[in-house]
Amino acid sequence: MIAQQATAAEPPLLRPTDPLSVRAPHFPPKAKNVIFLFMDGGPSQMDTFDPKPRLALEHMQPIRMDNTPTTVFNISNKVFASPFSFAQYGESGHWVSELFPHVAGCVDDLCIVRSMTANFSEHTAANYFIHSGSGFQGRPSMGSWLTYGLGSECKDLPGFVVLDSGLIPPGGMDCFGAGFLPASYQGTLFRRGEHPIADLEPREAAGEAQRGKLQLLSKLNQGVLERFGEVSELEAVIANYELAFRMQSAVPDLLEISGETEATRQLYGLDEDDTSEFGRQCLLARRMVERGVRFVELLTPRRQGQDRWDQHQRLEAGHRVNSRAVDKPIAGLLKDLKSRGLLDETLVVWGGEFGRTPTAQIGESQDPKTVGRDHNPFGFTMWLAGGGVKPGTVYGATDEYGYFAIENKVHMHDLHATILHLLGLDHKRLTFPFSGRDMRLTDVHGEIVQDILA
């Protein structure tokens, strides 16, 4: 891994500690970095990685089980067969939908968890929950906890980066916030376009004048710290000014992809209309972990009027558009990481805040093309790759309809505990004092899913 060092031209560090300095894990880690491919809106498990033949046998018949409503949108109890075909791939022979032909080629690297469960069926609370382990606003994000616990090996970029592909999920930037942790650990959003970070470009030529201003600013801020003691927000401001100075040269170099080979451009789909946006983000994620960024999150792209995986209506059309945008770039990312020897130390996580119901939502027109699915937190699919998980495996199961997890249930707290474990952190020991008790990502819950560890 390439760990970027501070340049000789940077101003001296005038505060007692660097909040992003590398810290030792609790025990030897399997992974050093995380790339979180967040599929905002809730992809349908029975249309992607959890095939259910029974749905085709009972299509548009009343479901023959107790179908506890998940949200107020559940307006039908009729079974909805998947409009997509499935096939077996790889030496593992695991089933993957036609929606993901490129990811299917990487199935032997995936650990597919078909028994995920969560606590919330409404987007905002569910988004907070998958990110922070709490359905309430204002708790630290998983990326914040990891950078708080381990710091970052990259000194020229933030330790926790969020790559915007066109859509901020419900819940807004609080999904990536540091909550009660020091502000230095919050996610930094890289937006699309020519200027991913506002005001990053120097207003004057870089040189002695700019360094002198930063030195003076640091000296003044240090005086405030000496008078009032530790102030998290001020320390974060000081650290951010210093980091921003280094980022002025690091970010343009990071974003300059014209030097990538034609093979790489094809691998990520950089020159194809459907995949160019998310392909670029996947490539940037690889370049970031290569430089030592601790946690990179990618957000769902907006394509052809589809802005999320939340298809209450027109599921077939919506899932096709969304999968075309991400399938080839994700496969390209996995292959690229593997070819560079980075997959073993990078944990890739794919999934949304919940799944979908096997029952149909039918629009007023009764047109079959308008059929969608409701939210479902009782049993859905996420997958992991690299970073110490068992490749080519499927863990857990839902019932014959795909409604409820029934075998080897994995709660979101369990997933968080497992991710921390893979990076060498004991989720019970990674705590921060707040509101009268030691807080943690998993609250008072969570068990490591030992069976998916390599």
Q: What is the pLDDT of residues 48-80, one digit of tens each?
A: 999 999 999 999 999 998 766 666 555 678 999
Q: Cβ(150)–Cβ(422) under 8 Å?
A: no
pLDDT per position as a tens digit, 93-133: 999 999 999 999 999 999 999 999 999 999 999 999 999 99
Q: What is the pLDDT of residue 268?
A: 98
- Does pLDDT of 201 surpass 70? no
DSSP state, residue 438: E
- Does pLDDT of 39 surpass 70? yes
Q: What is the pLDDT of residue 12?
A: 39
pLDDT per position as a tens digit, 366-398: 676 789 999 999 999 999 999 999 999 999 999
Residue 336: inside a domain: yes
Residue 17: inside a domain: no
Residue 333: inside a domain: yes
Burial of 404 (0-12, 13-18, 19+ CB in 10 A): middle
User: How many separate domains does the chain show?
Assistant: 1
Residue 362: inside a domain: yes
Interatomic CA distance for residues 435 and 140, integer angstroms? 14
Burial of 431 (0-12, 13-18, 19+ CB in 10 A): middle
- Does pLDDT of 134 surpass 90? yes
Which DSSP string do the residues of 35-93 spell out, in sequence order? EEEE-TT---GGGTT---HHHHHTTTSBPSS-----STT----BB---SS-EEEETTTT
Domain that holds residue 345: 33-452
Residue % of the chain over a pLDDT of 90: 71
Least confidently predicted of 2-6, 289-293, 308-312? 2-6
Residue 53: inside a domain: yes
Q: What is the pLDDT of residue 114?
A: 98
Q: What is the pLDDT of residue 184?
A: 87
Q: Give the start-end residues of each E strand in 164-221.
A: 188-190
SS3 content of the chain, % helix, strand, coil (to 5): 35, 15, 50
State the chain's mean pLDDT as an integer: 88
pLDDT band at 204 (very low <50, low <70, confident <90, very high): low
- Does pLDDT of 313 surpass 80? yes
Q: What is the pLDDT of residue 16?
A: 41
CATH (domain of 80): 3.40.720
Look at residues 173, 110, 178, 190 and name the one whose alpha carbon lies nearest to residue 146: 178
Residue % of the chain over a pLDDT of 70: 85
- Does pLDDT of 2 surpass 70? no
Q: What is the pLDDT of residue 190?
A: 92
Q: What is the pLDDT of residue 269?
A: 97
pLDDT band at 7 (very low <50, low <70, confident <90, very high): very low
pLDDT per position as a tens digit, 328-364: 999 999 999 999 999 999 999 999 999 999 999 886 5
Interatomic CA distance for residues 278 and 297, integer angstroms? 12
Residue 8: inside a domain: no
- Does pLDDT of 290 surpass 60? yes
Mean pLDDT for the stretch of residues 422-430: 98
Interatomic CA distance for residues 391 and 73, integer angstroms? 37
pTM for the full model?
Answer: 0.90
Residue 2: inside a domain: no
Q: Cβ(131)–Cβ(141) under 8 Å?
A: yes
Residue 25: inside a domain: no
pLDDT per position as a tens digit, 228-264: 766 666 666 666 667 766 777 678 788 888 889 999 9
